[in-house]
């Protein structure tokens, strides 16, 4: 027996992009059902990025879920770049006319969106099995899934594929209709989360002869640290003591001396890649977030790019239902991709600048240091870094 449901938009994926889209559509009076194959606990258990651009902060406010972010998030007006044993600050606020970023974990963003959706009584299906999308090349698309042994069909006008890199939506597109661009980096990030005070009140990006390191944070009492490691490394090879010892070797003397260590509460190795799908629309199917693109985490662009995809998509759907216009729908892919490629360029450039690549010699380290030296002593160079880091405006270049 199959149960049939009807909605205007079916969102596949209840991560931050799917939940944010659902909340923005709810605010605009557009109906949406979200289908997610994992449990809420699993979704909240993903340890991801935590630096929000101003555009993303504004979107969370627009969605009505920004209260806790403003109360508990950490406003950062700059960050440090470390090379040749010395730290140099990039003044984000001063270089961009007052813009800044917010350190607020993706887990907390997801929790806030989940709570808002639940409070509004909006339909979300978790632990949906055998999720599949159908007829998205027509005006009558649908999504099917199995829940508690019963098959359900959701008929809709549009499908929003917010189900991540390994999701069903992009995988359902015929190979001849899609072009995928990918660059896999020859190293990963070993990340540790610990209930220790951050080594510095702002982020430190370190270029070291021993490899890249990042000192980040989630709160005044919880820290997030990363080390560049070979892809062949396994988490089991890295004890907490070994991690802290290597991190100290990649920091300046002051940071190394003040680093507070402790037991890790999460430890993992993440590979780095640049990945972009063209186009991001296939008839009635629209890809957003990690389903359409992946950037290396060096520039903190992943969640922020997903948020701007969702903003464009929510505006397009709202325009379609409220104004009977297809302009936003038809231009969605082109608008997103222009921004995606700019962010991918910055993330690739920043990654290339800060990491040690296998096979590179001492001259490559010297050239990186020379470029860093130029960037921090050139106002125009520093401004370029700053304006890309805080995020380009939504209408940049339009």
Which pLDDT does position 264 carry in this prediction?
96
Which pLDDT does position 80 carry in this prediction?
97
Which pLDDT does position 105 carry in this prediction?
87
Give the span between the Cα atoms of 290 and 280, in whole angstroms: 11
Catalytic residue among 297, 311, 312, 355, which?
297
pLDDT by residue for the chain (398 residues), tens only, comes to: 689 999 999 999 999 999 999 999 999 999 999 999 999 999 988 767 789 999 999 999 999 999 999 999 999 999 999 999 999 999 999 999 999 999 998 899 999 999 999 999 999 999 999 999 999 999 999 999 999 999 999 999 999 999 999 999 999 999 999 999 999 999 999 999 999 999 999 999 999 999 999 999 988 999 999 999 999 999 999 999 999 999 999 999 999 999 999 999 999 999 999 999 999 999 999 999 999 999 999 988 999 999 999 999 999 999 999 999 999 999 999 999 999 999 999 999 999 999 999 988 899 999 999 999 999 999 999 999 999 999 988 777 66
Q: Is 205 a catalytic residue?
A: yes
Which pLDDT does position 46 carry in this prediction?
76
CATH number belonging to domain 2-75+103-181+273-355: 3.50.50.60
Q: Is 297 a catalytic residue?
A: yes
Q: Is 301 a catalytic residue?
A: yes
Buried b (16+ CB within 10 A) or exposed e, 232-266: eeeeeebeeeebbebbbebbbeebeeebebeebee
Are 168 and 36 spatial neighbours (Cβ–Cβ below 8 Å)? no
Give the span between the Cα atoms of 48 and 46, in whole angstroms: 6
Give the span between the Cα atoms of 377 and 392, in whole angstroms: 22
Q: Is 366 a catalytic residue?
A: no
Which pLDDT does position 397 carry in this prediction?
61
Give the span between the Cα atoms of 162 and 172, in whole angstroms: 13
Q: What single DSSP character describes residue 295?
A: -
Which pLDDT does position 333 carry in this prediction?
97
Which pLDDT does position 398 carry in this prediction?
62
CA dihedral of residues 65, 115, 307, 274 (deg, nearest 10): 140
Q: Domain ranges for the chain, please list them.
A: 2-75+103-181+273-355
Q: What's the predicted TM-score (pTM) here? A: 0.93
Catalytic residue among 104, 145, 185, 205, which?
205
Q: How many helices (H) and strands (E) does the chain have?
A: 13, 21
Give the span between the Cα atoms of 3 and 154, in whole angstroms: 9
Catalytic residue among 145, 185, 312, 389, which?
389
| Closest among 341, 342, 335, 290 to 314, alpha carbons compared | 335
Catalytic residue among 26, 76, 293, 355, which?
76
Catalytic residue among 293, 301, 311, 355, which?
301
Q: Is 332 a catalytic residue?
A: no
DSSP string spanning 59-98? HHHHTT--HHHHHH-EEESEEEEEETTEEEEEEHHHHTTS
């Amino acid at each position: 027996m199959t149960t049939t449901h009807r909605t205007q938009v079916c969102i596949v994926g209840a991560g931050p992009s799917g939940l944010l889209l659902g909340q923005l559509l709810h605010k605009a009076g557009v109906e949406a059902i979200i289908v997610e194959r994992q449990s809420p606990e699993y979704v909240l258990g993903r340890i991801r990025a935590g630096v929000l651009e101003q555009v993303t902060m504004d979107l969370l406010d627009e969605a009505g879920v920004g209260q806790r972010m403003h109360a508990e998030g950490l406003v950062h007006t700059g960050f440090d770049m470390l090379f040749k044993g010395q730290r140099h600050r990039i003044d984000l606020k001063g270089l961009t006319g007052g813009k800044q970023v917010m350190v607020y974990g993706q887990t907390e963003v997801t929790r806030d969106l989940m709570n808002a959706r639940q409070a509004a009584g909006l339909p979300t299906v978790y632990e949906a099995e055998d999720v599949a999308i159908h007829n998205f090349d027509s005006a009558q698309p649908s999504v099917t899934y199995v829940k508690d042994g019963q098959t359900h069909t959701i008929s809709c006008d549009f499908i929003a594929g917010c189900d991540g890199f390994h999701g069903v939506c992009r995988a359902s597109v015929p190979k001849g209709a899609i072009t995928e661009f990918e660059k896999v980096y020859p190293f990963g990030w070993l990340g540790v989360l610990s209930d220790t005070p951050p080594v510095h009140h702002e982020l430190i990006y370190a270029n070291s002869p021993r490899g890249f390191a990042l000192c980040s944070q989630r709160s005044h009492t919880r820290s997030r640290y990363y080390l560049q490691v070979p892809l062949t490394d396994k988490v089991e090879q890295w004890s907490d003591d070994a991690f802290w010892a290597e991190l100290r070797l990649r920091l300046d003397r002051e940071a190394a001396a003040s680093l507070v260590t402790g037991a890790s509460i999460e430890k993992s190795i993440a590979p780095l890649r640049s990945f972009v799908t063209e186009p991001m629309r296939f008839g009635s199917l629209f890809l957003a977030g990690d389903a359409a693109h992946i950037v290396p985490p060096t520039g903190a662009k992943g969640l922020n790019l997903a948020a701007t995809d969702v903003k464009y998509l929510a505006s397009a759907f709202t325009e379609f239902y409220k104004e009977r216009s297809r302009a936003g729908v038809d231009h969605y892919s082109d608008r997103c991709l222009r921004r995606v490629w700019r962010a991918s360029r910055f993330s690739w450039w920043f990654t290339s600048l800060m990491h040690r690549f296998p096979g590179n010699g001492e001259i490559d380290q010297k050239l990186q240091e020379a470029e860093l030296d130029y960037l921090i002593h050139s106002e125009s160079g520093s401004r370029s870094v700053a304006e890309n880091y805080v995020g380009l405006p939504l209408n940049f270049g339009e």
